[in-house]
Chain A
């Protein structure tokens, strides 16, 4: 790993400081951007309505009773009034199919059925009263008369066959199953509705309970649309996934550039001294300065490759190291007739 030398180190300190600050700002901004992006979902699922259809069978009724003092000799009761079994003759029910849609109807067909269901804890019996095409009911008011006297006789006949009960429920049920097509949607929808009029009749009680239920059936056909979360960054709108990827790349790149800048800037600053200077200061007790004159009776001159080796020799032989005053990078140890020499310049070659 050779030293990285880039010419910008020669530039002004202000420039380098500005560069470091700018890289730190980019790094922090991109990291904060990356972290905060996880507070938002990757995508949002939206439901866009395509068609909505609602259907309802409207019911209303009046109660026909015998003349009596309790009813002030009236023969027709309105919903909500108390009905005494003793005076009850029947119900006059009016019903109508109401269909509405978000768009124009292209085709409507289907079937309807009206039936009476008589049930007791012991038995139950279903009697279909009418059925046909739903178009007959569509926006037309129809009438149905339920003869209570006839119903009681009918119940008596069945009870003779299967055994008597104390309480009965008589339900008049209106069912409609409608197939609908709209002009703006190439799809067929089937919608089913049920309305009821229910009588609770207990032979031990003088009154009859009547309840109606006319729920509206709604069908909403919608398209699920996945919308990726968008982020605006300096007038550029982008997908949040792309944004995260970009902020990650920005943060890593800026961290890399910051590292590079720090490496270049601190290259010559860390009080770096050559190993020779460091060794000199460490072993200053062993080193003396001087001039090496002609040494007589020299048998050998050993050129050591490293100053450490020379220090080793000096330590082992207990001799001082002579730092030659004429060449500051030349060191020698004189050990009798052998001279050990270290020369930095020679070593570098």
Chain B
């Protein structure tokens, strides 16, 4: 029996082994000290040496025309951080506290990024099933971006911890990897490396970064990927025969836009919607109802018997006014219709959100269910963007297949 080894398989196995070694070396070598910087850079350089010629010769038809678009992506990345910083404030980047830290991080990250990008390029250029390769490579590289101890800790973590990790850490990185892979397919290693290296080094070189929560950061990150793919779609895909949307999708898009504009107009007119999650106002308001509140209510116009929404602690409560106290400023005594006694607090004028206008029965159940699954609206937004991005990528792949054929 003769075993024939293909050179490309050998290269793939060698480079993958080096990347996996970088991931698992902490199992048998000390994690601290200079090894943290030495091993990823050594393995990254070796992967680069093994795969350079295999990847660099891959020519793509958009190599030159994609470069300005990638530069636009990078400009958008910086601009969105600047805007976020002005909105929520800037914070000192802990990765740039000392010059030695910056130098050591660069020693680690530059070869590591080179290795990863050439590995990605090699896999994508070697496989006939580009779509599958892109998904598998992106999943693998995303998986390897988090320590195995993180995954082990998830085994004993709560649902919220696991979901937050998945949605706020894993998904943004996965989408970013998919985008980089797509950039390689369209524009070759120069473009994918430029984007990847910039976004990587940006974190290690920027002295200040916007001071935002992990949820906001994740939303911005996935939105950026979606926007970049949309830009690619507009730049290359527009006017192509496969890109022409069907009548149903046209109608759906139109419907979606109409609903969005109507909702925006509704908000601008001073109305807010609140989902009822307790039965304290039953049967007037039941769990799952959506209550519409007029936030432009004059506090002096509130009368006994009116149903008002007000802030209490970190929640919003909708209860009926049973007494208006003519204090200065005005305060209200409230009570839930289903409660036996009045609320044990007085609602001040400043806590008033608005007066109840009407309700949409049962519509809120969807929101309640979604919040049970996604825990908060940020996770929900990320999930929606993920679906939209997946749909966009599917279209882009169809177009790519068409062009290549």
Contact = CB atoms under 8 A, between A and B. Distances in A.
B45 A258 contact: yes
Contacts of A255: 41-43, 45-46, 49, 111
Interface string A298-337: 0000000000100000000000000000000000000000
16 contacts: A1-B56, A1-B190, A27-B42, A31-B38, A35-B29, A244-B33, A245-B34, A248-B38, A252-B42, A256-B111, A259-B46, A259-B49, A259-B50, A262-B52, A266-B52, A266-B53
A272 interface: yes
Given A34-B38, A38-B33, A270 B49 contact: no
Nearest to B38: A248
Nearest to A245: B34
Given A1-B189, A258-B46, A275 B59 contact: yes
Interface of A: 1, 3, 27, 31, 34-35, 38, 244-245, 247-248, 251-252, 255-256, 258-263, 266-267, 269-270, 272, 275, 308
B35 interface: yes
A259 B118 CA distance: 12
B53 A267 contact: yes
The majority secondary structure among interface residues of chain A is helix
B7 interface: yes
Task: Count chain B CB atoms within 10 A of each CB in A247, A258, A259 and give the residue with the most.
Answer: A259
Nearest to A312: B405
Q: Which 3 A-B pairs have the closest CB atoms?
A: A259-B49, A262-B49, A255-B45
A27 B38 CA distance: 11
B164 to A, nearest CB: 35
Interface string B287-323: 0000000000000000000000000000000000000
B57 A259 contact: no
A108 B30 CA distance: 55
A247 B34 CA distance: 9
Given A270-B7, A270-B53, 6 more contacts: A252-B38, A255-B46, A259-B48, A260-B49, A262-B52, A263-B53
B107 interface: yes
Interface string B13-53: 00000000000000001101111011101110110111011
Contacts of A38: 30, 32-33, 35
B337 interface: no
Nearest to B39: A31
A3 B107 CA distance: 24
Contacts of A34: 34-35, 38
Contact of A256 (B43, B45, B54, B190): B45
A34 B41 CA distance: 14
Nearest to A38: B30
Interface residues on B, range: 20 to 34
Contacts of B33: 38, 244
Given A1-B190, A27-B42, A244-B34, A252 B50 contact: no
A255 B35 CA distance: 14
Contact of B49 (A244, A251, A261): A261
Contacts of A31: 38-39, 42
Contacts of A259: 45-46, 48-50, 52
A308 B37 CA distance: 45
Contacts of B190: 1
A252 B61 CA distance: 35
A35 B30 contact: yes
Given A35-B29, A272-B57, A275-B59, A252 B111 contact: yes
Nearest to B104: A248
Contacts of A275: 59
A263 B38 contact: no
A247 B33 CA distance: 12
Nearest to A261: B49
B67 to A, nearest CB: 13
Contacts of A267: 53
Contacts of A252: 38, 41-42, 45, 107, 111
Interface string B54-66: 1011010100000
A262 B42 CA distance: 14
Contacts of B54: 270
A260 B114 CA distance: 13
Contacts of B38: 31, 34, 247-248, 251-252
Contacts of B107: 252
Contacts of A35: 29-30, 35
Among A244, A245, A266, chain B packs the most CB atoms within 10 A around the CB of A266
A260 B111 CA distance: 13
Nearest to B34: A248
Contacts of A270: 7, 53-54, 57
Interface string B154-197: 00000000000000000000000000000000000110000000
Contacts of B42: 27, 31, 251-252, 255
B363 to A, nearest CB: 53
Contacts of B189: 1
Contacts of B57: 270, 272
